[in-house]
Structure 1
Amino acid sequence: MDTDRHLFGGDVCSAAENSQGVRIPNTYGVVYRHKNASITETDLLTEGGSPVTRVHSDDRGMVEPFYGPPGVSTMWMDFNAGRYQIFAVDMDTRIANHLTDGPDEDPHGTLRTARAEMESYVSKIGSNDIDAVGTSAEWIRVASDDTDANVATLRNREGIARWALKKDGRMDIQPAYRPETAKQYAIRAVTKADAVAYAVSNADASGASNTFTVKGDGSANFSGDVTLNKPIIAPNVGSARVYSGPEEPRNPKTGDVWIAYQVDGTPDKGAV
């Protein structure tokens, strides 16, 4: 049945009557789209869906159920005693379906339109997984001339941004410090011992090779110089200090190492 058609008749208010108000059983009447319409409405269907051009009363004089033209919820009926207005009897069902998930849950087509638009951009895999359609498709694009603009942020309940991804690719991380928390991570990479957990590459290098890597076993590799502003602390070094130059250290301590060399840069074999 066409869902745009409203149901009329079959209720206590829809009766076929003569000019004295007496019901007329088993008779035919006509309907009009408007009170002063000159042409009768013939686009009608029985309750079972069969086309009819007139309406009929049962053996009690009550108008049998019928469907009007699409989109029409009120008409005028005449059983040769003058026209009187008749209203659709399915309005309560229509309203209920607007408020609940009934068979007509999308009467305006807004859900169908929204879903069609979304499916043309993204393909939903799971409850919260969205896979961009196509190799060059973009799911989210932030258009801004400000390179400091946030593309995505993670905020706590107080509104403080603890994680922010910038438009130029930078990432700001500010985890909340909690003394009672045993483990506090700003960035944590869990990987196998021989796998690279963190890597830095030189953007100016043609090969873009890694210049600094940290593996899962804790080993680190540097391709450039390492500058330290504090003493090295390690099991095989202890508190020893290493000096080099033409003159010996001013305040040497036990365990210090002095690598002497002459002014011209050649090692001084006599000084250790």
Structure 2
Amino acid sequence: MRYLFGGTTDTAAETATGARLPNAVGTVWASGATDAVQLTDLIDINGNPMSLITADKTGMLPAFYGPDGYRYLWVDFGAGKYMLVPTDTVTRLDEHLQGIDPHGDRSYANSVFDRALPKAGGTVQAPEKRDWLTIRVPGDGTGGPGDGVGTAYQLTDGTTAFTRLYNNGALHVDTMGAPTSLSLGSTATGNFITAHNGRSTPATAGSVFTVTSDGSVIAAGTVTGKNLGTARLFSGPTPPTNPQVGDVWVKFG
């Protein structure tokens, strides 16, 4: 980027005493040091290349572009080097402020927001083979339970909490308004519901209650109900040990 220099009332070719030097020819340098590098890659305001700068008939420096990347220049008309600063700083600042994304921060923010959970109406792309969302709840640091009071997730109308997931893992399903049945569906065969006496696992091993996808209900303990009483059902070639009143034995084999 080339910066614009000269062309203002404070840029003139002068002697050491401040006298103007009309039509004077000066050199341009990279710094004010004695061993500074002279710069000759200059361009006038009309786009023509030049290697030196020439003051006008009043001793003022015409506007010109310095070499690419140089924000400061030093000029010498015989009385020593003095520094010039760009005269298009305000213009460049205005263009910068009016730019759509001058720092690239909007593009970065958009890329971050695209990976964030949308507030409404958005779609979240769940990463393959990774946890999509993890909620950390209070515990003892070794996987212990939360306090069971606060919720990690809840649905509410602003007054009443309905379905909520407590921070100790308990899930309470309450509908808002008219009751709606709880429906579970899956395209895969296997278990719809598996209850474990302890931490749950994907397998049926250790389950105390299971509902399979074919409609079977398997209970490890006694199934009781108002219309069942205390009856027990047995089947096989031999009668049950210690039969009780109401037991049913279906003999086969």
TM-score (norm: length of structure 1): 0.49
Contact 1:97 1:103 in 2 (8 A): no
Matched residue SS, 1:259: strand
Partner of residue 197, structure 1: 185
Partner of 1:211: 190
Residue 43 of structure 1, CA deviation:
0.2
> How has the CA–CA distance of structure 1 residues 197 and 49 changed in structure 2, closer, same or farther, with 3 Å as cutoff?
farther
Q: 1:33 aligned to 2:30?
A: yes
AA aligned opposite 2:15: N
CA deviation profile, 1:87-111 (whole Å, cap 9, x unmatched): 333456667878x5637824xxx87
Closer/same/farther in 2, CA of residues 129 and 89 from structure 1, 3 Å limit: farther
Return closer, same or farther for 1:182/1:95 CA change in 2, 3 Å cut-off. Answer: same
Q: C-alpha offsets along residues 7-50 of structure 1, whole Å, 9 cap, x if unaligned?
A: 21123331112344222344432212344358742100123433
Secondary structure of the structure 2 residue equivalent to 1:31: strand
Whole-angstrom CA distance in 2 between matches of 1:29 and 1:239: 113
Letter in 1 for 2:248: W
Amino acid at match of 2:53: V
Identity rate, percent: 23
Query: 2:14 matched to 1:11?
Result: no
Counterpart selection for 2:218 from 216, 220, 226: 226
For residues 214-257 of structure 1, what are the alpha-carbon distances to aligned partners after superposition, in whole Å with 9 as ceiling and x for unaligned? 8xxxx9534988234242548xx55473333357843x3xxx56
2:134 to 133, 151, 154: 154
2:99 to 102, 126, 130: 102
CA pair 131-104 structure 1, distance change in 2 beyond 3 A = closer
1:77 counterpart SS class: strand
Moved more, 30-39 or 44-53: 30-39
Distance 1:59 1:129, change over 3 A: farther
Residue 154 (structure 1) shift: 2.8
- Rounded Cα–Cα distance in structure 1 between residues aligned with 2:162 and 2:83: 78
Contact map agreement 1:248 1:258 (CA 8 A) in 2: no
d(CA) in 1 for partners of 2:13 and 2:219?
102
Distance 1:74 1:105, change over 3 A: same
Deviations 1:188-227 (A, max 9, x none): 9xxxxxx982366xxxxxxxxx23358xxxx953498823
10-19 or 66-75: which moved more?
A: 10-19
Residue type matched to 1:231 in 2?
Answer: V
Higher normalized contact order (CA 8 Å, seq sep 6+, divided by chain length): 2
Give per-residue Cα distances to partners, 1:102-153, cap 9 Å, x unaligned: 37824xxx87xx89xx9xxxx99xx876879xxxxxx7888xxxxxxxx554
Match of 2:64 in 1: 66
Tell me the matched-pair count: 195
Query: Which residue in 1 is equivalent to 2:49?
Result: 51
Task: Tell me, yes or no, if the aligned pair for 2:12 and 2:20 is still in contact at 8 Å.
Answer: yes
- Verify the 8 A CA contact 2:164 2:172 in the aligned structure 1: no
